[in-house]
């Protein structure tokens, strides 16, 4: 056979094999990557489901506990108060002291029961529940609060309202504990099917980097709860410093996303 023909056939054959090999490697790797991405997605979905179940169980326990506290121990304490008021044997100053202590216990119990399962949220919606939370803070006299609600304020599904309420509750709790603030303003609005909750305060705030750094610290249960709920809602949480030593925390929740 002619050497030139052999060379041409040989080169063509070798190149076809090489290109075939490269093509095979690319296709194979693409399939492996696709499989890897699919398994990662499945794992992520599973973790999200686990989170939902865990948060639902947590809410259910809190609701049961609140009901028990309110209906059982609360009624018991009220009965004791009634018995004390009817009793005439004891010394009057002790009676007064006991009644005061009982009143305080009943009030604390009511507050605890309310924070575990907020009836306001269940019946009147997120805006009213947050407003009532701010009123309670205002009543302490240490922090002044302001609440603004603009746009459509319809009642949202419970799977959106309850996690959002918990997030705002935890954020307010953290601000009062750590931010050394004197004023908080909360603004709720719905624009383009996005629920915006903006918290402005004049204390010592944090930025996004500090939030993420704190999130991965050991024991940051409250922040992890916030993070999980935000993920669950497919919402975004943003911490930023505004000019003039003011800080802003914004929570943007899409309302038409399937969860």
Partner 1 sequence: MLKLTLQYISICAPLIPLLIFIFRRSHFVLSKWLLFYLLISLVNDVLLMMIAKGRLVFDSYYLIHGFMMAEFILLSFYFQGQKIFPLRQRCLIPAITGLGLAAYWYIVYCTAFAALNGGGCALFSLIIISYAIFGFEKLTRKAVPVFLEQTALFWTTSGFLLFFSACFFLYLLWQHIPKSGLANSLWFIVHDGFNIIKCIFIAVSFTRKTDQ
Strands 246-254 and 144-150: unpaired
SS3 145: strand
> What is the tally of helices (H) and strands (E) in the chain?
8, 5
Rounded distance, CA 132 to CA 121, Å?
Answer: 10
| Residue 11 interacting with partner 1 (CB under 8 A) | yes
107 token code pair: 């009030």
Nearest distance from residue 32's CB to partner 1, in Å?
Answer: 5
| Residue 204 interacting with partner 1 (CB under 8 A) | no
Query: For residues 22 and 242, which CB has a smaller minimum distance to partner 1 in the complex?
Result: 22
Q: Pick the piece of the chain touching partner 1 (CB under 8 A) from 15-23, 90-98, 179-187, 218-226.
A: 15-23
Rounded distance, CA 85 to CA 80, Å?
Answer: 9
H or E element in which residue 215 lies: helix 208-215
From candidates 15, 142, 146, 148, binder to partner 1 by CB under 8 A: 15
Site string for partner 1, 22-61 (x = CB under 8 A): x--xx-xx--xx--x-------------------------
27 token code pair: 């296709």
Instruction: Supply the DSSP string of 20-32, one letter for each residue.
Output: HHHHHHHHHHHHH
Nearest distance from residue 15's CB to partner 1, in Å?
Answer: 6
Nearest distance from residue 218's CB to partner 1, in Å?
Answer: 27
Positions in 177-196 near partner 1 (CB under 8 A)? none
Q: Pick the piece of the chain touching partner 1 (CB under 8 A) from 7-15, 59-67, 191-199, 207-215.
A: 7-15
Query: Please, are residues 159 and 259 in contact by the beta-carbon 8 Å criterion?
Result: yes
Q: Pick the piece of the chain touching partner 1 (CB under 8 A) from 14-22, 57-65, 93-101, 239-247.
A: 14-22
Burial (0-12, 13-18, 19+ Cβ within 10 Å), 54: exposed
Distances, alpha carbon 9 to alpha carbons 3, 17, 24, 250, in Å: 10, 12, 22, 69
Query: For residues 9 and 142, which CB has a smaller minimum distance to partner 1 in the complex?
Result: 9
| Residue 18 interacting with partner 1 (CB under 8 A) | yes
Enumerate binding residues for partner 1 (CB under 8 A). 3-4, 6-8, 10-11, 14-15, 17-19, 21-22, 25-26, 28-29, 32-33, 36
């Amino acid at each position: 056979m002619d050497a030139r023909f052999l060379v041409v056939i040989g080169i063509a054959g070798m190149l076809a094999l090489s290109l075939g090999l490269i093509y095979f490697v690319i296709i194979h790797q693409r399939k492996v990557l696709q499989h890897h991405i699919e398994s990662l997605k499945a794992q992520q979905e599973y973790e999200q489901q686990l989170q939902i179940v865990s948060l639902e169980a947590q809410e259910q326990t809190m609701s049961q506990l609140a009901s028990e506290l309110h209906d059982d121990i609360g009624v018991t304490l009220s009965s004791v108060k009634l018995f004390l008021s009817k009793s005439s044997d004891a010394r009057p100053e002790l009676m007064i002291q006991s009644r005061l202590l009982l009143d305080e216990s009943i009030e604390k119990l009511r507050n605890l029961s309310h924070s575990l399962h907020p009836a306001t949220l269940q019946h009147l919606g997120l805006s009213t529940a947050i407003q009532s939370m701010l009123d309670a803070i205002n009543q302490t006299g240490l922090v002044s609060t302001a609440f603004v609600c603009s746009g459509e304020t319809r009642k949202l599904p419970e799977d959106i309202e309850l996690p959002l309420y918990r997030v705002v509750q935890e954020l307010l709790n953290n601000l009062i504990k750590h931010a050394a603030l004197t004023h908080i303003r909360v603004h709720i609005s719905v624009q383009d099917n996005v629920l915006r909750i903006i918290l402005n305060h004049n204390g010592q705030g944090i930025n996004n980097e500090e939030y993420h750094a704190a999130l991965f610290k050991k024991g940051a249960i409250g922040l992890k709860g916030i993070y999980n709920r935000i993920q669950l809602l497919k919402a975004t949480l943003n911490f930023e410093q505004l000019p003039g030593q003011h800080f802003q925390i914004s929570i943007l929740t899409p309302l038409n996303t399937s969860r």
